[in-house]
Structure 1
Amino acid sequence: MKPYLFLAAAIVSEIIGTSLLKSSDGFTKLYPTLGTVLSFVAAFYALSLSLQQIPLGIAYAIWSGVGTAVTAIVGIVIWKETASLTTALGIVLIIAGVVVINLKGTAH
């Protein structure tokens, strides 16, 4: 269970880092830039800890898939980015892909 807590921390850190990346305005704003760097360092560190027990393919599928889907939702909710049926379908397909990899992946 502990490796999945590290993976969850990696996902949350990556989402925070990506959101702060938008706030950094091309790395021209100091505090969002520092937050971005620290968040990504924390994300990769936590991901590396999770990889001690979770297979790479599974961990990366979960990390990138959940991170992408939640970041898209954050973009819509916080940054008021345009949402469409295509966006929703893409998020559903990302989540479905992560589920399929976890159910039928040979990495387990």
Structure 2
Amino acid sequence: MPNSVWLLFAIVMEVIATSCLKASSGFTRPWPSLVVVIGYGSAFYFLSLALRTMPVGVAYAIWSGAGIVLVTAIAWIIYGQKLDAIALAAMGLIIAGAVILNMRAGHG
């Protein structure tokens, strides 16, 4: 399977796990807590598969940048988190940085 697919799986699992942290109420609710533990475990496993050939800096930048943007979007939709223009601009910069780093990964 292509490394980008493993990275995508890692991102999805990390976003699911992080999004369930609030619902776990400090790990006092069993089902959301189980989702968090399984999600993070799976995320790191899939990330390790992606890192077989992907540069760690590029993979981590994409993983963390996508995670930040997706978790923020979920928090906005599910938890009613407010996003102002500065937050939206910052997320745009995160996305731009990850894209530029990915484009430059094969150079230098």
The structure-2 alpha-carbon separation of the partners of 1:107 and 1:19, relative to structure 1 and needing over 3 Å to count, comes to: farther
Residue 40 of structure 2 is aligned to residue 40 of structure 1: yes
* Identical-pair percentage: 40
Amino acid at match of 2:5: L
Residues 39-58 of structure 1: per-residue CA shift (max 9 Å, x gap): 00000000000000111011
Give 1:24-39 correspondences, 5 Å limit: 24-39=24-39
User: Which 5+ residue runs of structure 1 have no aligned equivalent?
Assistant: none
1:104 is displaced (CA, Å) by 2.4
> Which residue does 2:11 correspond to in 1?
11
- Is the 8 Å Cα contact of residues 57 and 107 (structure 1) preserved in structure 2? no
Residues 23-71 of structure 1: per-residue CA shift (max 9 Å, x gap): 1011110110011000000000000000001110110010000111111
Moved over 3 A (4+): 105-108
1:106 is displaced (CA, Å) by 6.0
Aligned length: 108
1:87 is displaced (CA, Å) by 1.2
> In angstroms, what is the RMSD of aligned CA positions?
1.5
